[in-house]
Amino acid sequence: LLRETAEPLMRTCVAGALANASIKAGDVDVFVVNTPTAWYAQFACDVTGIAADRVVNAHPIVANVGPALMPCNLEIAARRGLVKPGATILFYAVGSVSNAAALVLRCDRSLGV
Protein backbone atom coordinates (compact mmCIF):
# COMPACT_ATOMS: atom_id res chain seq x y z
CA LEU A 1 0.00 0.00 0.00
CA LEU A 2 2.89 2.37 0.73
CA ARG A 3 4.07 1.97 -2.85
CA GLU A 4 0.65 3.00 -4.18
CA THR A 5 -0.04 5.92 -1.84
CA ALA A 6 3.33 7.44 -0.91
CA GLU A 7 3.87 9.67 -3.92
CA PRO A 8 0.34 11.02 -4.42
CA LEU A 9 -0.13 11.70 -0.70
CA MET A 10 3.19 13.54 -0.50
CA ARG A 11 2.53 15.58 -3.63
CA THR A 12 -0.95 16.59 -2.48
CA CYS A 13 -0.07 17.44 1.11
CA VAL A 14 3.16 19.27 0.34
CA ALA A 15 1.58 21.25 -2.50
CA GLY A 16 -1.27 22.28 -0.21
CA ALA A 17 1.02 23.33 2.63
CA LEU A 18 3.27 25.33 0.29
CA ALA A 19 0.28 27.00 -1.36
CA ASN A 20 -1.25 27.91 2.01
CA ALA A 21 2.06 29.47 3.05
CA SER A 22 2.36 31.24 -0.33
CA ILE A 23 5.80 29.76 -0.99
CA LYS A 24 7.44 27.36 -3.44
CA ALA A 25 9.58 24.29 -2.77
CA GLY A 26 12.72 26.35 -3.44
CA ASP A 27 11.83 28.62 -0.51
CA VAL A 28 12.08 25.75 2.00
CA ASP A 29 15.22 25.96 4.12
CA VAL A 30 14.71 22.63 5.91
CA PHE A 31 12.50 19.67 5.01
CA VAL A 32 11.70 17.58 8.07
CA VAL A 33 10.11 14.39 6.85
CA ASN A 34 9.46 11.29 8.86
CA THR A 35 11.85 8.64 7.60
CA PRO A 36 10.28 5.23 8.24
CA THR A 37 12.51 3.49 5.71
CA ALA A 38 16.10 3.84 4.54
CA TRP A 39 15.01 5.18 1.14
CA TYR A 40 12.33 7.65 2.27
CA ALA A 41 14.45 10.82 2.54
CA GLN A 42 15.72 10.49 -1.02
CA PHE A 43 12.21 9.62 -2.17
CA ALA A 44 10.99 12.87 -0.55
CA CYS A 45 13.62 14.83 -2.48
CA ASP A 46 12.65 13.17 -5.73
CA VAL A 47 8.93 13.81 -5.25
CA THR A 48 9.15 17.41 -4.02
CA GLY A 49 12.21 18.67 -5.87
CA ILE A 50 13.69 19.92 -2.59
CA ALA A 51 17.48 19.62 -2.55
CA ALA A 52 18.94 16.70 -0.58
CA ASP A 53 21.06 19.01 1.59
CA ARG A 54 17.82 20.49 2.97
CA VAL A 55 16.25 17.15 3.89
CA VAL A 56 17.02 15.58 7.25
CA ASN A 57 17.25 11.80 7.61
CA ALA A 58 17.39 10.25 11.08
CA HIS A 59 16.89 6.71 9.76
CA PRO A 60 20.60 5.78 9.65
CA ILE A 61 20.93 6.87 13.28
CA VAL A 62 17.71 5.67 14.94
CA ALA A 63 15.99 3.49 12.30
CA ASN A 64 12.19 3.61 12.46
CA VAL A 65 11.17 4.90 15.87
CA GLY A 66 7.62 5.62 14.77
CA PRO A 67 6.14 8.86 16.09
CA ALA A 68 9.52 9.99 17.41
CA LEU A 69 10.92 10.34 13.87
CA MET A 70 9.74 13.91 13.39
CA PRO A 71 11.28 15.28 16.60
CA CYS A 72 14.45 13.27 15.93
CA ASN A 73 14.76 14.77 12.45
CA LEU A 74 14.02 18.26 13.79
CA GLU A 75 16.74 17.90 16.44
CA ILE A 76 19.23 16.70 13.81
CA ALA A 77 18.36 19.73 11.68
CA ALA A 78 18.89 22.03 14.66
CA ARG A 79 22.22 20.41 15.54
CA ARG A 80 23.36 20.89 11.93
CA GLY A 81 22.55 24.59 12.21
CA LEU A 82 19.70 24.42 9.70
CA VAL A 83 17.06 25.77 12.08
CA LYS A 84 17.87 29.46 12.32
CA PRO A 85 15.76 32.53 13.00
CA GLY A 86 13.76 33.19 9.86
CA ALA A 87 14.13 29.64 8.53
CA THR A 88 11.21 28.13 6.67
CA ILE A 89 10.67 24.52 7.67
CA LEU A 90 8.42 22.12 5.80
CA PHE A 91 7.19 19.15 7.81
CA TYR A 92 5.71 16.08 6.18
CA ALA A 93 4.62 12.85 7.79
CA VAL A 94 2.98 9.79 6.40
CA GLY A 95 0.85 7.91 8.87
CA SER A 96 -0.15 4.31 8.64
CA VAL A 97 0.20 4.42 4.83
CA SER A 98 -3.30 5.76 4.35
CA ASN A 99 -2.99 9.26 5.79
CA ALA A 100 -0.49 12.07 5.65
CA ALA A 101 0.02 15.66 6.77
CA ALA A 102 2.24 18.60 5.87
CA LEU A 103 2.78 22.02 7.39
CA VAL A 104 5.08 24.99 6.97
CA LEU A 105 6.66 26.63 10.01
CA ARG A 106 8.63 29.84 10.01
CA CYS A 107 11.09 29.95 12.90
CA ASP A 108 11.35 33.09 14.93
CA ARG A 109 14.37 31.88 16.92
CA SER A 110 17.03 29.20 17.06
CA LEU A 111 16.18 25.94 18.81
CA GLY A 112 19.39 26.25 20.81
CA VAL A 113 20.60 22.65 20.76
Round to whole Å and give the CA distance between 49 and 89. 15
Q: What is the pTM of this model?
A: 0.89
Give the mean pLDDT of 98-105.
90
Cβ atoms of 82 and 30 closer than 8 Å: yes
Per-residue pLDDT tens for 12-64?
999 999 999 999 999 999 999 989 889 999 999 999 999 999 999 999 999 99
Per-residue model confidence (pLDDT) at position 108: 81
Round to whole Å and give the CA distance between 61 and 105. 25
Show Cβ contacts of residue 98 under 8 Å, excluding neighbours closer than 6 positions.
1, 5
Say what angle helices 2-20 and 40-48 make with each other, to 10 degrees: 50
